[in-house]
Structure formats: structure tokens, C-alpha cells
Amino acid sequence: MSISDHHTGSKPVENAVLFCKKHLQPIARELDAAGRFPVELLGIMGESGFFGMNYSPEYGGGGYDSVTSHLAAKEIAKVSPGVALTLHVHWMAVDVLVKFGTEEQKRQYLPELLQGKKIAAYTVSEAQAGSDAAAIKATAVSTEAGWLLNGSKYFCTNGGLADLYFVALKTDAEAGAKGISMFIVEKGRPGFKIGAPEEKMGCRSSYTTGLLFDNCVIPPENLLGNANEGFKIAMYGLVGGRLGMAAMGLGIAEAALETSAKYANRRSAFGKPLSTLFAVQEMLADMYVKVEAANLLVNETARKRDSGRDYALDTSVAKLFVAEVVSEVCHKALQIFGGHGYMKYNDVERYARDARLLDIGVGASEVLKMVVGSSVAKIKGSNPV
């Protein structure tokens, strides 16, 4: 979809705010405590257009630009980051399907994915291969019956919830990153098993599972893109995923700022509200400045995505910055609450746990600094003095 095909508007954001207020906010703490995704809300999320906001109406999408779509997702993240994460990983799968899928694959899968009638999962990682994606070992072998899949995957977000799994597998064991292919695997295929949801520190309303393939056969046409070109496909999905993570982290940071500012106004110490104390004002000021800067960066990155230009470096920068911002903001929010912030009955405790994923998921900060650093060396280092 080109930028001319997108339209802006506040409706998705308004829908997200209403959805959160009416349906998600009342159960957010319970979702975190139970470690469950609210499957009972999938129909409402689909009817609200959340799953296809920023994709072409040709296949049933909303046609909104990425700025609008990520603002809406940010509102969901302010209430339940795990639900927002579910949405962003779904979008990662849609991104690669739109970019690399055949017309037949798009017409088969996109309408239901964009309407939320089917949910997608996206998985590259294995127990021994996280940041080093080229080290995956699970295999796909071409046979007369189709592709024969064997091995296991780890840290599959949306595992169990999803109907379609976009999976990176080795098709040439000796070729490293050039021996990886991407496949679409449907839930329920014989030989395809999904593990139980993992117990996580934060973002607990999102499911994360392992996957096991034991002589699972899928049709030849379930190969996404060309064989042995799956590494670049997987990396393309991560580009959009990093923008999604940045928007999610920004939602957590805004929620932590708003919650602590309200608390500082109503909580008294030394005979006056906390918000009149310089130490608290300084923390609120630092938090607000960082959040505003992060907002500008995330929105500008979303605009670049809409322009059709390469935005891979921008998403790494945005995610790196937001990861630092949300960590600092949640730390200060908890500090403003004091001992109360350390208690489960206050949301800032949950925000601090949810925020921790920003330094890890969809590219660890250490890896992204290598990506950004090497890019800066090429871009800035080539400029004439």
C-alpha cells in the first residue's frame, strides 16, 4: 500500500479508547494475575477493526496510516500491553504476507487475518537461537508429499491463540542465514503441537509458547517467498515489529506517567501534596520530557513507514530510545508511589514488569546498538569532512 492509499482519522484511536474503557480496563489486573489473553474480546476487537487498521481495504483492511494505527495500539498498551503485543505480532505476520506472499496466498489468508477472524503468530527463535537467528536448527525438507517439518521453536508469541503460524525453518543446514525459509503452518496440522503458555514476568495477557514439529507435512504452496530467502523475510517482519514494540513501550510509559502524576496530586507528605515537592516535580518533569520526545520519534518513524522508504534503521533507533525511556519512567513512577508502588494492588508495579520486555523482545537492546552503530559508521563515516 502506498502513502496515497492510506487515510488518517481519529476513529481507530477513539475506538481503542472506548474498547479499553468498556471492556479491557475492568479485567486488566485479572488478565495479568491469571496470565491469560481475553479470548472473549476477540470478536469485539475484530469488529472494531484493530487487526487490519493499517492495511489495504482491497483485502478487508481499514486503510489507515501507520501513525493512526500505532496511536490506537498505544492506547491499548496503556491498559494491557500484552493485548497490544498480541496485535503487533499479528501485524508482523501480515507485513511479510503482504510483502512476500503470492496473490493466491494473500486472497486465501489476508481477509480473515485483517478482520480478526484468524490470528497469526510469528516465530524465529529456538532454545539455542535468539538474537543469533541464523543458528536455528528446526528443518523443512521438500518431499513428494510437501514440506516435511521437524524440530522445535521457542518464545512463540500468540502460540496457542493463533490459527496461522509464520515459521522460519532451515532448508539448507550448511548455508547459515542463506539456508532459511519462511512457511505458513495452519493450527491443527498432524505432527504440529503447541506447548502450554509460559509463565512470564510481564506482558502476561499475551501468550508465549513453544512449538514442536514431528514429521509435520504442509503443502508446497505454504512456502512464503522463495526457498532459502527466509532470513530476509524474517528480518523484514522484525522491522515492523520494532515499531510496534516502541508504540507499546510508549503506551506503558504514558500510563505510568499519568498514574504517578495523579497519585502525586492526591498523596500528602509533610503537610502538602507530593506534587508540590521539588524532588517529585523534577521526576515528573524528566518523565514528561522523555515521553514527549519518544512520542515524536515513534510518530516520525510511523510516517516514514507510510512513505514507503526504508525505515529499518529508524525502528531500531525508536525501539532503543523507548526502551530506555519506559524503564526510566516506570522506575520514577514507582519511586513516586514509594512503598505503595511495590505492592500488587497498584498498577505501577505491573507497568515496571511489563516495561522490561522492551529491552529484550524483537531485538535485544545490545543487538540493536550493534545494528545502529554499524549503520551510523557507514552513513556518517562516509560523509566528507
Q: Looking at the whole model, is its pTM more than 0.85?
A: yes
Q: In whole angstroms, what is the distance from residue 56 CA to residue 111 CA?
A: 10
Residue 381 clears pLDDT 90, i.e. is over it = no
Is pLDDT at 345 greater than 80 in this prediction?
yes
192 in the Ramachandran plot: left (φ > 0), alpha (ψ -120 to 50) or beta?
Answer: beta
pLDDT tens readout for residues 12-65: 999 999 999 999 999 999 999 999 999 999 999 999 999 999 999 999 999 999
The strand pair at 223-224 and 208-218 is best described as unpaired
Q: What is the pLDDT of residue 4?
A: 39
pLDDT score of 337: 97
pLDDT of residue 128: 84
The predicted pLDDT at position 3 comes to: 38
Lowest mean pLDDT among 8-12, 72-76, 207-211, 300-304: 8-12
For domain 122-231, the CATH architecture is Beta Barrel (2.40)
pLDDT reported for residue 129: 82
Query: Which superfamily is assigned to 235-379 in CATH?
Result: Butyryl-CoA Dehydrogenase, subunit A, domain 3 (1.20.140.10)
Going from N- to C-terminal start, the domains of the chain cover 3-118, 122-231, 235-379
Of 125, 203, 198, nearest to 167 (Cα)? Answer: 125
Round the average pLDDT of the chain to a whole number and report it.
Answer: 95
Look up cell 513428494; give the residue: 144
153 has pLDDT over 80: yes
Span 361-379, average pLDDT: 95
Which residues touch 277 (CB under 8 Å, ≥6 apart)? Answer: 269, 270
What is the CATH number assigned to the segment(s) 3-118? 1.10.540.10
Distances (CA, A) of 376 to 17, 123, 175, 360, 380: 38, 29, 29, 22, 5
Calculate what percentage of the chain has a pLDDT beyond 90. Answer: 92
